[in-house]
Copies of this chain bind each other. A is one copy, B any other.
Amino acid sequence: MPVIEIHMLEGRDLGKKKALVKNVTRAVCESLDVKPETVRIILSEMSRENYAAAGTLFCEKQSL
């Protein structure tokens, strides 16, 4: 009964989110031999003001 949290920059549309949870669930089920009904996925979206790499917020950078 895996629980998966995906932190990602905000801005993906509903179609991408649907594809994401469908594809990740399939990858988890095939890899761990569990049933899809047991898999829960939380999408945790971050604004570019709330995510940093190398000490710099993404809103201070150009590209994704």
A interface with B by C-beta (< 8 Å): 1-9, 12, 14, 16-28, 30-32, 34, 36-37, 39-46, 49-57, 59-60, 64
What chain B residues lie within 8 Å of A53 (beta carbons)?
1, 37, 39-41
Q: Is the CB of A39 within 8 A of B23?
A: no
Number of copies: 6
Distance, CA A40 to CA B8, complexed state (A): 11
What chain B residues lie within 8 Å of A6 (beta carbons)?
2-4, 28
Distance, CA A3 to CA B38, complexed state (A): 13
Asked, given contacts A52-B40, A52-B41, whether A4 binds B5 with beta carbons under 8 Å apart, the answer is yes
Q: How near does chain B come to A58, taking the closest CB pair, in angstroms?
A: 8
